[in-house]
């Protein structure tokens, strides 16, 4: 089982056709996509006692994922207003995050990321779960999924990202994350720098229509993105993250890229290609509508 921890919210999407509401939040998207890919999944989050909160619970349960839904401190469900410009999203947030202490269930991996790793006071509970995973030698993955409106100090934000990345075996970054935290820097240089941490064994850099690159030991492997008609990119990074975890679990490959393990270009190409494929399908649909396992090729992820 994979445990995912972080925010669940309602996206209020505004585009030329009007406004629509959909259940979202990066960790929720990762969890529901994992479940859609037939991976046993538990989402730990918090929701409000309101109609939007009920919709979140229904969405997670419909996906097949299990759910621990702590009550939000305000009683309201968080929202993110998404403004689409040529398919690219920008966000305005109305969110609190006060997750209380949780015990990490028995699991194969723990995934954390996005706002749940930066917003106080709930951030402390997420970091505690990472510590619990560390103590049990449970695989940890991390996607900072940086949201520019919430980054007041890029230097401190990078320090926080770097500290948590150093406690994860797998880190996913996007080129947009790098642009917010290190404007003008080479995203590949930033990704490689994270491999210097003792625990980190695999860093994946996503670059939108340019595809993705994986860094492990002294190896860098890139795959292109499929040519598609993009509807929007909401949830594409989350779909990529979920697909990556699904393939690692299916291959019993958690912890198999670390020190002393020979770098394997074909294996990394297969991993990236499978994840890029799932992300591309998501981009061809409105909203964070990742594919289910039956919608993929019968031989996916090969």
Per-10-residue mean pLDDT, the chain, length 302: 96 76 93 97 96 96 96 90 70 89 97 96 97 96 91 93 96 96 95 94 94 92 90 88 96 77 82 96 85 94 91
Nearest to 43 by CA among 123, 134, 120, 111: 111
Burial class, 4, CB count within 10 angstroms (exposed 0-12 / middle 13-18 / buried 19+): buried
Tokens of 285: 């649909």
- Domains of the chain, with CATH numbers? 2-293 (3.40.1190.20)
The pLDDT score that the predictor gives to residue 255 is 82
Q: Which residues contact 147 (CB under 8 A, 6 or more apart)?
A: 91, 93, 114, 115
Phi, psi torsion values for 149, nearest 5 degrees: -60, -20
**pLDDT value of residue 147:** 86
Phi first, then psi, for residue 97 (nearest 5°) are: -150, 105
d(CA 277, CA 205): 15
Task: Report which DSSP code applies to 294.
Answer: G
Place of tokens 């996916």: 300
Give the C-alpha separation, 11 to 26, whole Å.
11
0.85 exceeded by the pTM?
A: yes
């Amino acid at each position: 089982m994979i445990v995912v921890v972080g925010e669940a919210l309602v996206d209020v999407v505004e585009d030329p056709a009007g406004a629509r509401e959909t259940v979202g939040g990066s960790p929720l998207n990762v969890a529901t996509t994992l479940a859609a890919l037939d991976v046993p999944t538990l989402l730990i989050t918090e929701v409000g006692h309101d109609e939007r909160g009920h919709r979140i619970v229904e969405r997670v349960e419909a996906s097949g994922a299990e759910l621990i839904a702590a009550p939000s401190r305000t009683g309201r469900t968080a929202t993110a207003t998404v403004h689409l410009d040529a398919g690219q999203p920008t966000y305005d947030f109305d969110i609190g995050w006060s997750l209380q202490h949780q015990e990490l269930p028995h699991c194969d991996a723990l995934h954390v990321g996005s706002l749940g790793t930066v917003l106080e006071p709930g951030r402390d509970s997420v970091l505690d779960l990472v510590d619990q995973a560390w103590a049990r030698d449970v695989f940890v993955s991390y996607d900072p999924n940086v949201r520019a409106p919430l980054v007041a100090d890029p230097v401190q934000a990078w320090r926080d990202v770097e500290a948590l990345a150093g406690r994860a075996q797998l880190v996913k970054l996007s080129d947009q994350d790098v642009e917010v935290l290190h404007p003008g820097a080479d995203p590949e240089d930033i990704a490689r720098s994270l491999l210097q941490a003792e625990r980190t064994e695999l860093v994946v850099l996503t670059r939108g229509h340019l595809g993705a690159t994986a860094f492990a030991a002294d190896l860098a492997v890139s795959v292109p993105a499929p040519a598609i008609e993009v509807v929007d990119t909401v949830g594409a990074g989350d779909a990529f993250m979920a697909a990556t975890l699904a393939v690692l679990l299916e291959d019993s490959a958690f912890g198999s890229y670390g020190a002393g393990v020979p770098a394997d270009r074909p294996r990394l190409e297969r991993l990236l290609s499978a994840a890029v494929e799932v992300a591309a399908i998501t981009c061809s649909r409105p909203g964070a509508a990742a594919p289910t396992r039956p919608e993929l090729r019968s031989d996916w992820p090969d």
